[in-house]
Amino acid sequence: MKIIVLDNVAEEIYRLRELKQEVMMKNAARERIRQRIEEMTKFSKEQPHLLKEYNDLLVRRLIEKITIHERQLTIEFKSGIKVKRKI
């Protein structure tokens, strides 16, 4: 009887450790996104509000990639946000 109880306790400990690890990884990912948004906000405040010409530095700091489809663009920002625009 004691062996079964100990096995159950051990299984629960392993399960809780795995759950803790998952939560810690999610929190770290969330923190990276928060920091990136903070960096982007700071950078955008330093830029002129009205852009009159293409700004390569701005594009490289904010955009991860642009995917061109037949009828739309998908713009993926470094923060993870995706925006779709019809063309």
Residues 40 and 11 in one domain: yes
**Total domains present in the chain:** 2
Residues 27 and 12 in one domain: yes
Residues 41 and 1 in one domain: yes
Residues 40 and 6 in one domain: yes
pTM: 0.53
pLDDT tens, residue by residue, 45-61: 877 777 788 888 888 88
Q: Which residue, among 59, 60, 61, 58, has the nearest Cα to 36 in the 3D structure?
A: 61
* Residue 1 reports pLDDT greater than 70: no
Residues 1 and 38 in one domain: yes
* Residue 28 reports pLDDT greater than 90: yes
Say which residue, 53 or 73, is predicted with more confidence.
73
**Containing structural domain, residue 29:** 1-46
